[in-house]
Amino acid sequence: MNHKNCGCEEFQELERGFSRRGFIGSVLAVGGGLLLTDASGLQYAMAATGDTNTDVVITISMRGGMDGIMAVQPLGSPRLRTLRPNLSFDDSATLSLDNHFGLHRNLKAFKTLYDQGELAVVHAVGTPVGTRSHFDDQNSLELAAYNNPGLASGWQNRYLTEVGATDVLAGISTTRQRPVTFMGPASAAVFENTQDVVIQGLEAVKRTDYLNVLRDLHSKNTHQWGRTAAATITSAERLAKVDSATNVVYPATILGNRLKVLASLIKSGIPVKTANVDFGGNLDVHSDAGPLTGTMANNFTDLSESIAAFKADIAQDWKRVTIVTITEFGRRLQENASAGLDHGWGSAMFVTGGGVKGGKVIANWPGLEDANLRDGDLAVTLDYRHVLAEVMRYRGGMTSANLSNILPDFKPSDLGLVRNIV
């Protein structure tokens, strides 16, 4: 990942630690001398297909702090032009959404989804507590349990429990390590490429015999290790059958590749319930933000075109997919002396999918005058958990009781973002 525009040592160290921790058990002994390559730290549990009458709920983690104001600019704001002389645009240079907001011009594919009624924007949204620390705010964002400091499981892990998922492949993260959102008792699989986790080195003619011997060995082992090893074989063999071929051209980016992998799983019938996909680009733009050409302009192109390719790839399955973008914080309202943006608070979220009530911007807009800001940041007037709760309720089939377990001590309100799944 290129961080030449990032002046934030914390984020760089966080990313280095992310890669180090991702190298968990690079070679995992399964039994009988067989070795399974597992550079990404794939977790396993006994495979069993669960109910499929729910959406695949996908979060795209915009780690680093996405600037919601640059992505979705308020229109008719001379103050924004004053505070961001290099990092804001004339209203005519945006893709108008309504009378109040315009999309960044590189989010063209999002504008198409918006016009088709399959994408909604939520603005001035974020975490209830902002620290401007990547580590603290990413951790809190994915735990989503602000009044329960002792709760160590992530919200997507708790969602898997409440939805009754029993398949190791029900929770997928196409990244290098298990994210906080999947921490907890429910199983989740973490890999960037299916070939990273398939069993290699067996002669094709004897493959079935070898695997049957291993299954038999581990079936007689009542210890958790034995059950885990047996499930490892089952899951790896299922992934080996996933067809990654596609006629769709994805952007040649980290996000494009990760969404391509996820699409192959969905198309192959893997019963994914929820997925977390790290964006993988440089959003922590403390200098040379590149609003029209450069870092952020490229980020926006990548985000919208990767999702458009994903939609085209999964075809009819799009109707049972909901994607939510999420970020730990936005950027400060005023640009800095290096034509960059430091850590802020409020940002924007995109919600898209076949069941989304799109074509609208949802915002309790606070305004950009000093009195409306929070220490120089766009104020958060809407907790991001309202968005997650509505998606889980209407697209994931969660009841109020389920939601109280997933998002403890939180009272969600409907925003009119999604239709009820049928």
pLDDT in tens, 324-346: 999 999 999 999 999 999 999 99
Tell me what pLDDT residue 9 has: 76
CA distances 374 to 347, 366, 382, Å, are: 13, 10, 14
Q: How confident is the model at residue 218 (pLDDT cuts 50, 70, 90)?
A: low
- Residue 346 CA, chain-centre distance (Å), reads 18
Tell me what pLDDT residue 157 has: 97
Instruction: Measure the CA–CA gap between 189 and 193, rounded to whole angstroms.
Output: 11
- Please give the structure tokens belonging to residue 73: 């600019």
Tell me what pLDDT residue 24 has: 30
Judge whether 321 lies within some domain.
Answer: yes
Q: How confident is the model at residue 187 (pLDDT cuts 50, 70, 90)?
A: confident
Judge whether 420 lies within some domain.
Answer: no
What is the mean predicted confidence (pLDDT) over 127-143?
96
2-38: pLDDT as tens digits: 445 555 777 676 665 544 433 332 223 332 222 223 3
Is the pLDDT at 104 greater than 80? The verdict is: yes
Judge whether 297 lies within some domain.
Answer: yes
Is the pLDDT at 277 greater than 70? The verdict is: yes
Judge whether 415 lies within some domain.
Answer: no
Judge whether 248 lies within some domain.
Answer: yes
Q: Are 40 and 190 in contact (CB under 8 A)?
A: yes
Judge whether 1 lies within some domain.
Answer: no
Helix, strand, coil percentages in the chain from 3-state DSSP, rounded to 5: 35, 15, 45
Q: Are 295 and 288 in contact (CB under 8 A)?
A: yes
Task: Give buried/exposed letters for 337-370 (b at 16+ CB in 10 A, else e).
Answer: eebbbbbbbbbbbbbbbbbbbbbbbbbeebebee
Sign for the CA dihedral angle at 339, 342, 346, 350 comes to positive
Can you give the residue range of the structural domain that contains 274? 9-406
Instruction: Measure the CA–CA gap between 298 and 302, rounded to whole angstroms.
Output: 6
Is the pLDDT at 196 greater than 80? The verdict is: no
What is the mean predicted confidence (pLDDT) over 132-139?
96
Residues 6+ apart with CB under 8 A from 248: 260, 263, 309, 312, 313
Q: Is 416 exposed, middle or buried (0-12, 13-18, 19+ CB in 10 A)?
A: exposed
Domain count, the chain: 1
Judge whether 241 lies within some domain.
Answer: yes
376-387: pLDDT as tens digits: 999 999 999 999
Residues 6+ apart with CB under 8 A from 336: 286, 287, 342
Judge whether 160 lies within some domain.
Answer: yes
Q: How confident is the model at residue 391 (pLDDT cuts 50, 70, 90)?
A: very high
CA distances 299 to 162, 308, 401, Å, are: 34, 14, 38
Which contiguous run of DSSP H or E holds residue 108? helix 108-115
Domain with 212 in it: what CATH number?
3.40.720
Mean pLDDT of the chain, nearest integer: 86
What is the mean predicted confidence (pLDDT) over 291-304?
97
